[in-house]
Amino acid sequence: MTDRTFEASPRPRARITGVVYLLYFLTAVLAVFFIRGLVVSGDAAATANNILAHERLFRLSVAVGLIGTALYIAVTVLFYGLFKTVNKTVSLLAAFFSLVGCAIQAFASLFQIAPLVVLEGSPYLSVFKVDQLHAVALMFIKLNVQAAYIYLVFFGLFNLLIGYLIFKSTFLPRILGVLMALSGLGWLTFLSPSLANRLLAYIEVLGIIAEASLMLWLLVKGVNVQRWKEQASAPVE
Amino acid sequence: MMERIAETSPRFKARMAGVCQLMEAVTAAFGEVIIPGKLVVAGNAAATAANILGHERLFWLGFVLSVIGVGFHIAWALLMYELLDPVNRSLSRLAAFVILVGCAIQALASLLYLAPLLILQGGSSLSAFTAEQLQALALVFLRLNDYAFQVYLVFFGAWCLLIGYLIFRSTFLPRILGVLLAISGLGWVIYLYPPLAHRLWRIIDAASALGEVPVELWLIVMGVNAQRWKEQAGAAGASLRT
């Protein structure tokens, strides 16, 4: 597991990247799966009742989400190691964008836990009417969604730069880079959530196709070791 | 980059890391645990509000110490990254990124720490709410600050786990320190599911003391074995050049 093995064999390292990427996907799907149907948009009372009735699932979703963030930090580090031979500055920039996205994502988990804090029924909260508390809980859920729009923009920048790096690299197929860059542009539309929500189906499909094909390629094919080594030993840009 | 690190004495760096760790531990303990523990009365919004307004300076001190703690944490993280870089560059980079995210959460959480003061001193601008409602709202923000601290603890735990592994694999620090630190890290990671962590808090606290204090003392008193550090750094540098 030292860097020596990475230098000697980037292919296993590319495979590890694929595996961690896959695990990240699974946690992301699981986090959504746990709370599917719990939030009834516009109906604070129904949402509150659902959350209280499934408190454990709600907490599990938060926990799995945080594990997902940790895995994405690992993906970020692995991508940096993979692409720094292509362009060290751009790879580092990509990693920093992703880190800011991860920090926002982890912090946003607070807005997901906050509804439990106001709904748990502590006596000190009885100074508010029940429907006021329900409304506050729904407001926190909406803030959580808004926070997602912000971190998606940063992950969009990450995907865009990773797409560029793949395209410039000689050791991965260029089409994967094009797809990643396009998916990154898609996430950038969340700068205007109303536009993004109109295009949501396309953005999501594009995102899934781009990231799933990159993940599968890394998992199954790894990288072209010969070309990677050539690029690694080429003079630094 | 290798040369520059090698030129600065690794032992001095290790001692500074220990000092930063100690300062972080003290400031965070007062800022996040001891001072809020004195002022916040669990479940009692009125008493908590009275305590905060009655000891406003102490509350501010807690907030400031908490923010300073983040600063020491970042310095500690950077020094540990440079010290452990020769062991495994990718893993020490991963550790640094993980704790940076933790520090960012902790820094943002200071907003939640301060919110109660803004709410309780809002005066006429917040008169749409009754005094009791404002007190309850202040306590909600304090609860959220607790949660933010727990999210930070999860990332801190993951960092301890990674740092522990790297110390174990290093030749310049005693392996037992790495094992103990990794165990304490596992404890903090339990905060992924707070209800479980609240049941096990005595064990987690004990593991944390057993894991973190020895590392801290060792770094301050002994530093690292500079000879061995340079050997490992040299080996890592050589493998990069080939």
Q: Does B133 sit within 8 Å of A128, measured CB to CB?
A: yes
Q: Does A118 sit within 8 Å of B154, measured CB to CB?
A: no
* Encoded tokens for A65: 């989400």
Which of A127, A143, A144, A233 is most worth mutating to test chain B (most B CB atoms within 10 A of its CB)?
Answer: A127
Cβ-Cβ contacts under 8 Å for B15 (sequence gap 6 or more): B219, B220, B223
Query: What are the chain A neighbours of B188 within 8 Å (beta carbons)?
Result: none
Query: What are the chain A neighbours of B104 within 8 Å (beta carbons)?
Result: 100, 103, 106-107
CA-nearest of A236, A234, A235, A229 to A82 is A229
CA-nearest of A220, A183, A200 to A17 is A220
Chain A nearest C-alpha distance from B49 (Å): 12
Please tell me the predicted confidence (pLDDT) of residue B150: 94
Please tell me the predicted confidence (pLDDT) of residue A236: 54
Please tell me the predicted confidence (pLDDT) of residue B4: 52
Q: Could you tell me the sign of the dihedral formed by the alpha carbons of B51, B55, B59, B60, in that order?
A: positive
CA dihedral (A32, B195, B139, B49) in degrees, to 10, reads -170
Which of A73, A78, A118, A229 is most worth mutating to test chain B (most B CB atoms within 10 A of its CB)?
Answer: A73
Query: What are the chain A neighbours of B240 within 8 Å (beta carbons)?
Result: 3, 7
Q: Does B108 sit within 8 Å of A107, measured CB to CB?
A: yes
Helices and strands per DSSP (H, E), number in chain B = 11, 0
Please tell me the predicted confidence (pLDDT) of residue B242: 41
Residue A132 inside a domain? The answer is: yes
CA-nearest of B101, B78, B82 to B153 is B101
Query: What are the chain A neighbours of B94 within 8 Å (beta carbons)?
Result: 73-74, 77
**Chain A contact present for B139, CB below 8 A:** yes
Query: What are the chain A neighbours of B162 within 8 Å (beta carbons)?
Result: none
**Of A73, A107, A118, which is closest to B98 when you measure between CB atoms?**
A73
- Complex-level ipTM: 0.89
Buried b or exposed e, range A90-127, using 16+ CB within 10 angstroms: bbeebbbbbbbbbbbbbbbbbbbbbbbbbbeebebbeb
Q: List the pLDDT tens digit at each of the 237 positions of chain A.
A: 444 445 557 788 889 999 999 999 999 999 988 888 888 888 889 999 999 999 999 999 999 999 999 999 999 999 999 999 999 999 999 999 999 999 999 999 999 999 999 998 889 999 999 999 999 999 999 999 999 999 999 999 999 999 999 999 989 999 999 999 999 999 999 999 899 989 999 999 999 999 999 999 999 888 888 888 888 887 654
Query: What are the chain B neighbours of A60 within 8 Å (beta carbons)?
Result: 193
Residue B52: CB atoms within 10 A of its CB come to 25
* Encoded tokens for B221: 């008193």
Residue A178 inside a domain? The answer is: no
Q: What is the DSSP letter of B85?
A: T
Number of structural domains (chain A) is 1
* Encoded tokens for A231: 């690029």
Please tell me the predicted confidence (pLDDT) of residue A2: 44
CA dihedral (B28, B34, B35, B36) in degrees, to 10, reads 90
Q: Does B105 sit within 8 Å of A106, measured CB to CB?
A: yes
Annotated domain spans of chain B: 2-236
Chain B nearest C-alpha distance from A221 (Å): 22
Chain B nearest C-alpha distance from A160 (Å): 20
Residue A46: CB atoms within 10 A of its CB come to 15
Query: What are the chain B neighbours of A118 within 8 Å (beta carbons)?
Result: 140
Return d(Cα A81, Cα A7) in angstroms, integer.
10
Please tell me the predicted confidence (pLDDT) of residue B7: 60
Whether B119 contacts B138, CB under 8 Å? yes
**Displacement of CA A63 from its chain's centroid (Å):** 15
Chain A nearest C-alpha distance from B86 (Å): 9
Residue A8 inside a domain? The answer is: yes
Interface of A with B (CB under 8 A): 1-4, 6-7, 59-60, 63, 66-67, 69-70, 73-74, 76-78, 80-81, 95, 99-100, 102-103, 106-107, 109-110, 113-114, 117-118, 122-125, 127-128
Return d(Cα B22, Cα B27) in angstroms, integer.
9
Query: What are the chain B neighbours of A7 within 8 Å (beta carbons)?
Result: 239-240, 242
**Chain A contact present for B1, CB below 8 A:** no
CA-nearest of B26, B32, B1 to B76 is B26
Please tell me the predicted confidence (pLDDT) of residue A1: 41
Task: Kindly report, residue by residue over A105-157, the tens digit of the pLDDT.
Answer: 999 999 999 999 999 888 999 999 999 999 999 999 999 999 999 999 999 99
Query: What are the chain A neighbours of B139 within 8 Å (beta carbons)?
Result: 124
- E strand spans, chain B: none
Chain A nearest C-alpha distance from B136 (Å): 6
Give how far Cα B241 sits from Cα of A85, B178, B235, Å: 13, 29, 10
Return d(Cα A207, Cα A128) in angstroms, integer.
42
What's the one-letter identity of residue B34?
I
Chain B nearest C-alpha distance from A196 (Å): 27
Residue A11 inside a domain? The answer is: yes
Query: What are the chain A neighbours of B100 within 8 Å (beta carbons)?
Result: 99, 103
Structural domain range at position A49? 3-150+218-230
Q: Which residues of chain B have pLDDT under 70?
A: 1-7, 238-242
Q: Does B90 sit within 8 Å of A117, measured CB to CB?
A: no
* Encoded tokens for A116: 């439990």
